[in-house]
Amino acid sequence: MAEATKVAETEFGYFDVPAREYVITSYATPAPWHNYLGLEGQLCGIISSTAGGTTWYRDPQACRITRYMQVGAYKDRPGRYLYVRDNASGAFWSAGYQPVTQARPDAYECRHGLGYTRITSVNQGITTEMLHLIPLGELIEVQRVAVRNDGDRPRRLSCFTYREFVNSSADNDLFNVQFSGHIAQMDPDPDDARILYVTTSQTPPERARFMAVSEEPAGFDTKQEAFIGDGSLSDPQVVREGRARGSLCGDDTAVGVFQLDLELAPGQQQVFHVVVGWPPHDGHARDVLAKWLGDDARVLKALDELKDYAVGLLGTYQCDLDDPYMGVAVNTWNAYQCWVNFQFSRSISGYACGLRRSMGTRDSLQDLLGYMHMSPHGARQRILELMEAVHLKDGGCRHQYSALTRQGSENTGFSDDHLWAVLAVADYVKETGDLSILDEEFSYSDDRGLSEDLYHHLLRAIQYSFDDRGAHGIPRLRAADWNDTIGGGADDEVSESVLVGIMLVHMARLMGPLAELSGRGDLTVEQDGKQVNVLDYFRTVAETMTGALNAEAWLEDGWYARGTDRHGEWFGVPSRDEGKIFLEPQPWAVMAGVADEERGRAAMDSVREHLFTENGIELLTPACTVAPSGNFTVFPKGAKENGGIFCHPNPWAMCAESILGRGDRAFEYYSAILPPKASEKDPRHYTAEPYVYGQLRYARPHREFGKAAGTWLTGTAAWNYVAATQYILGVRPDWDGLIVDPCVPAGWREFCITRTWRAATYEIAVSNPDGVMKGVRSVTLDGKPIEGNVLPALGDGQVHRVEVVMG
């Protein structure tokens, strides 16, 4: 199958498939289109296609370095700006278009890559290229600037750098200016004019954030008021006049302005570097800068190392398909988004300001599902770190924690958080075969004197949900389940969640194999005042819950109810005027085996009949004017949880349809929200980045039907990756083997998958001569037929060739 080199081209850009880059060809995208820098979770950044964004160290709230105002993100300011002035004419422009939007470039290109961004613009015969990256293992962000004279006459130019620095923490910087506005000072290094330090009365230069340039500057400014003068960010007085003032910040916003004067002959190019950094753990900023400033070969080598590192992570699952849209998502951009979500959870994006959620419990545990295969070691660390930070001795969880302090929040009472831990650990064991993770002991976040191994932490999670059941034998909803907006409150003793009940069945069925494989099958657990075998207990949980759900929550209309409200009344039922059917329980009933095949098909048929649109599956219908439970009617009809196309649970429907063998339907759902396809139809209306998933699209009742929002940091990424790779393409790890069970459109005739699993690589060629949607007729491994469709864990470091015939 020939690989397309350019995919989903629109007026705003296209995918450069071999380069693993999205190429933006317009400075005027419908909204800021972002990328991430610093994918090791230390020094990090977000950057837009016009160089807007911010940089931070580990925690974007406590350790923000540069300012970015998400409330004004449509204007995409401030950012990593470079003003360029023609000293002969006095004309000036910005190398990244923003903020000098009155000086439009003659040509513009931004290439977002895996952890780096390159912006190239042409203005008045001058080509400027800015490469932005955070080198692996470093606490600096490098902007490599190349300025070239494309004309036939010499040019005298002045380049002015610009960064706005946060004076304190990000929340103080935004909400408490009477405090933060009097803290920071920014001064040059007394021995090296190329370096500026952002200091306070308690922060000496050697422990300060810093900014530096590789060339001797003609001048500098650190006081925003002096730099802007009588102008604005689009027309700063210093740039207009062509001369930095040497101002020093003391009671104003600290800015990093260096003036660099260039004289370029025709065809000549000059390269310089701009570096922003966090103080090194050992030594002085000067030591770090001595290694990087002016060493262009080192910067370019760092880019190559970053690319190699990214390709190594993404290379653990690659596919060769006739569908280039799915191919570019699975091979690069969906996987890359999963990687970004692992690092940043829900902390900061173009939509999230970095002040609230940090590392969400349910968010981070689900993010692992799309990242596990790329870095099992990183996943293991995250599971243990998270559980120690958030898990409570009653089995519940704190709702989020700080990546910096590892402290959990006071926000508790969510009925689903703890159950996601079982799924994450089970997936980790299936991926690695490493059962030792279950032996890791750590304390509970509300009782540091009580330590148990991870297995017993997970056992308490199951007990918490099973013991906290309501009048219908279904777990109580409490503060909320996966849907944050339908909760009755942590003290609500009445409301029940059908979704949590179904999840509990699934998780209990995972706990049994974990017990047996780890030698814990003989353990006992207390149930109704008696000690019972732990395997019997998990069977009881699963069977009891399955019975209750099918007896109480199944509706003869052909779907499962969503739950009960504070008055004990069912919602997600046809007798309601609004919110008659909700999406979440229907696919989960299939995934967990709560529904038999007849009910599973009926439930998913109801999803298609009532909830599916050409832009994705709506969360509920009809959208509500009065919420049956919670507060989701704060949103207008068709937005977010009020009947919007909430993309996160859409892949649950893909998984369910794949289990049911309906490959055409699974792929139709997959394609409906796939960003390259969705954006290509109408990129101006779709608005969001075409290379990553968003949290939502507006649904039929909304005036913006089909528009996307909330991109990058969303559980949509991991679950779509799971649906695509493990269910549609059908290669997924199990306890003791690699299952090959595709469920594809009937028109697919062949495709290939390369999967690295447990230290062996499997090159899997699938043929479908009869045009079936599901079913495996035969499998050969290295030329020899095997029984069934489960590949053994070979673990020999070798490449193995697998041929699969569907039928």
Q: Encode pLDDT of 514-543 as tens digits.
A: 999 999 999 999 999 999 999 999 999 999
The stretch 625-634 carries a mean pLDDT of 94
Q: Is the peptide bond before 622 cis (omega within 30 degrees of 0)?
A: yes
**Would you call 484 a catalytic residue per the annotation?**
yes
Which pLDDT does position 351 carry in this prediction?
A: 87
Find out whether 751 and 763 touch, Cβ atoms under 8 Å.
no
Select the more confidently predicted residue: 170 or 704: 704
The stretch 561-576 carries a mean pLDDT of 98
Distance spanning both ends of the chain, measured CA to CA: 21
The stretch 163-180 carries a mean pLDDT of 87
Find out whether 129 and 110 touch, Cβ atoms under 8 Å.
no
Whether residue 692 is predicted with pLDDT greater than 80 in this model: the reply is: yes
The pair of structure tokens assigned to 293 is 């400033």
- Angle at 690 (CA atoms; ends 730, 613), nearest 5 degrees: 65
Q: Could you give the dihedral angle defined by the CA atoms of residues 690, 696, 700 and 706, in that order, rounded to the nearest 10 degrees? A: -10
Write the burial class of residue 211 (CB in 10 Å: 0-12 exposed, 13-18 middle, 19+ buried).
buried
Which pLDDT does position 179 carry in this prediction?
A: 87
Residue 74 banded pLDDT, cuts 50, 70, 90: low
Task: Give the least confident one: 341-345, 485-489, 672-676.
Answer: 485-489
Residue 507 banded pLDDT, cuts 50, 70, 90: very high
**Extended beta strands in 266-415, E state:** 269-277, 317-320, 359-360, 400-401
Phi and psi of 588, rounded to 5°? -65, -30
Mean pLDDT of the chain: 97
In one-letter notation, the amino acid at residue 622 is P
Spatial distance between the Cα atoms of 532 and 284, rounded to a whole number of angstroms: 61
Spatial distance between the Cα atoms of 796 and 255, rounded to a whole number of angstroms: 55
Which pLDDT does position 237 carry in this prediction?
A: 99
pTM, full prediction: 0.98
Whether residue 73 is predicted with pLDDT greater than 70 in this model: the reply is: no
Residue of 171, 189, 484, 557 marked catalytic: 484
Q: How many CB atoms lie within 10 A of CB 244?
A: 21
Q: Encode pLDDT of 225-272 as tens digits.
A: 999 999 999 999 999 999 999 999 988 899 999 999 999 999 999 999
Find out whether 371 and 423 touch, Cβ atoms under 8 Å.
no
Q: Encode pLDDT of 433-483 as tens digits.
A: 999 999 999 999 999 999 999 999 999 999 999 999 999 999 999 999 999
Residue 51 banded pLDDT, cuts 50, 70, 90: very high
Which pLDDT does position 180 carry in this prediction?
A: 84
Which pLDDT does position 252 carry in this prediction?
A: 80
Domains and CATH numbers, the chain: 31-311 (2.70.98.40), 731-806 (2.60.420.10)
Spatial distance between the Cα atoms of 707 and 685, rounded to a whole number of angstroms: 6
